[in-house]
Structure 1
Amino acid sequence: MSLLVFSAVILAALLHALWNALLKAQPDKYAGAFAVSLGGVPLGLACLAYAGLPAVESWPYVVSSAIIHTFYFLCLLNAYRAADFTQVYPIARGAAPVFTALASGALLGEVLSPLQATAVAIIACGVMSLVFAGRGGKSLSASGLCWALATSAIIATYSLNDGAGARLAGNSFAFYGASATLNAILMAIYFALRQPAALRNCFTVGRRSLLIGGPVSFIAYALVTWAFAHAPIAMVSALREVSIVFAVLIGTFVLHEKMDWRRILSSFVTLTGVVLMRVAR
């Protein structure tokens, strides 16, 4: 993995942690989720204006990407309703690289070297171990675990779909610009039918997610989509999950949550995998 791709994915991980922290702080999670989706539309349209429409052969992936990301938002919201953020997020993000690595080999023919596979496994273990650094060993409910694993499977699905689509699109930013715009339309339709208050509240209680979270989220995943086109999808998927380490740091130094030895150890394991990922061939 080149230094440029590596740096882009690390930046994306930081931005991902930031917009998730904003969403977590929203009193109305439905309004916050829609606000994040809607807030990325101006940048999506700007990408389309600059790069043009993605290649015709990539449009099935564009449509499926928008649909999968809609399910991702809805699944993530249910996971946060069923369990704590510090339990759901590490499982959802930590298991995804393993699913992605297995599926990318079987479906896309991407075979990682032993060192690359080891780096993916170390990052996944480090991220998932953060679930045990929660609030005094509070148990995870069965529904919370199921929603978290379902979210993880969806992350792996959109990673594979978007990686393949970005490579066919001719321009990864055109691909994600189209996908993000369509996703916002699908989210609007869903909330209009199921949670109409979210459409109104996204401009009031969800304003911060709309104005900050949406653009930050768009930039974060636009960088990841670009990286998918320039490096093995499994490696990019694993590296971006370093976002949980940034989330822990934000929680400690910004939100003043307690940093205990378990979180420090988990973060160290994850960063070990990150270093190995950088040098792996």
Structure 2
Amino acid sequence: MSLLAFSLIFLSACMHATWNYLAKKSDSGSTFVWLYLTVSTIVYAPVIIIFSFFQHFNIGWTEVLFIIGSAILHLVYSVTLQKGYKVGDLSVIYPIARGTGPLLVAIFAIFLFDEQLNWIGVVGVALIVISVFILSGGFQVIKKANSLLPIGYGLLIGIMIAGYTLLDKGAVSIVFVSPLLLNYASILGQFLLLSPVAKKQWSQVKSDWQQHRKEAIGIGILNPLAYILILTTMMFTPVSHVAPVREVSILIGAIMGTYLLREGFGIRRVIASGTMVLGIIALTLSG
């Protein structure tokens, strides 16, 4: 993995951890998702217009199908994520989801994209997954949780993450859809699909805007930008390397939780953070 790829992924991870913190802080549902999609649609419209003058976008039925599929998967993921955050803690759902996703991506990328992982890469993936498991509280999560519902949400969201990551990898590296176009078209598609729900619950939309407009604006800007960086990186980097390294956001989230949510860091998270760093180094060297 090149230094450029690692830098883009690390910057994206910082943004990803931040917008998930804002999503948890909002404690809202699908109407809040529609709000930040609206922000994204408005903010990034000038960007896509400007780029259209310098870059020719090839759009055919294949590209359209990939974009529609991406929009549906991302929308289901976003709505499920908000529901998960309403029933479980960020420190439970986020690590489990972000750990399950890259594990599945690393496995299926071997069959779908003929990617290879040498033994150093396998060790790196394993260390990252183990560190995510430790950060989530390990088996203690099951004992402390009121039910298995939050863990179930984490696993389900992880499956969705793997799904849209593999689909979008195919879009940018096989069909050669522009990362910027794929991301914006997906956002626009999600916005249109969720608009009927927002219309029916307009009073809740106004309430969410009054109470959580800062969070909606923050997510609306950071969410697309973070994923554009990842899509760009996947154009020249194997997805089985990109997905696990993204999980450095777990470490960033842990640090944010320590200072912003006043969660105790403890020896467990120190060990887990060190394990994740070793995993990232191993995965980087494997490329």
TM-score (norm 2): 0.89
Residue identity opposite 1:139 in structure 2:
A
Q: Which stretch shifts more, 251-260 or 40-49?
A: 40-49
In the superposition, relative to structure 1, how do residues 176 and 27 fare at CA in structure 2: closer, same or farther (>3 Å)?
closer
1:158 aligns with 2:158: no
**Per-residue deviation, 1:256:** 2.4
**Per-residue deviation, 1:43:** 4.1
1:207 aligns with 2:213: yes
Paired position in structure 1 for 2:40: 40
Percent of residue pairs bearing the same amino acid type: 25
Kindly indicate whether the alpha-carbon contact (under 8 Å) linking 1:37 and 1:187 is maintained by their aligned counterparts in 2. Answer: no
Q: Choose the corresponding residue for 1:55, options 59, 66, 82.
A: 59
Paired position in structure 2 for 1:278: 284
**Per-residue deviation, 1:114:** 2.2
Residue identity opposite 2:20 in structure 1:
N
Please give the alpha-carbon distance, in whole angstroms, between the structure 2 residues aligned to 1:32 and 1:130.
Answer: 28
**Per-residue deviation, 1:29:** 4.0
Kindly indicate whether the alpha-carbon contact (under 8 Å) linking 2:172 and 2:178 is maintained by their aligned counterparts in 1. Answer: yes
1:248 aligns with 2:254: yes
CA-based RMSD: 2.2
Q: Which stretch shifts more, 175-184 or 139-148?
A: 139-148
Please give the alpha-carbon distance, in whole angstroms, between the structure 2 residues aligned to 1:271 and 1:197.
Answer: 46
**Per-residue deviation, 1:245:** 0.7
Deviations 1:240-273 (Å, cap 9, x if unpaired)?
Answer: 1111110111111233221111111111111111
Paired position in structure 1 for 2:114: 109
Unaligned runs of 5+ in 2: none
**Per-residue deviation, 1:36:** 2.6
1:264 aligns with 2:270: yes
**Per-residue deviation, 1:107:** 1.9
Q: Count matched residues.
A: 280
**Per-residue deviation, 1:234:** 1.7
**Per-residue deviation, 1:170:** 4.3
Q: Which stretch shifts more, 223-232 or 36-45?
A: 36-45
**Per-residue deviation, 1:204:** 1.6
Paired position in structure 2 for 1:219: 225
Kindly indicate whether the alpha-carbon contact (under 8 Å) linking 2:27 and 2:82 is maintained by their aligned counterparts in 1. Answer: no
**Per-residue deviation, 1:34:** 2.6
Paired position in structure 1 for 2:126: 121
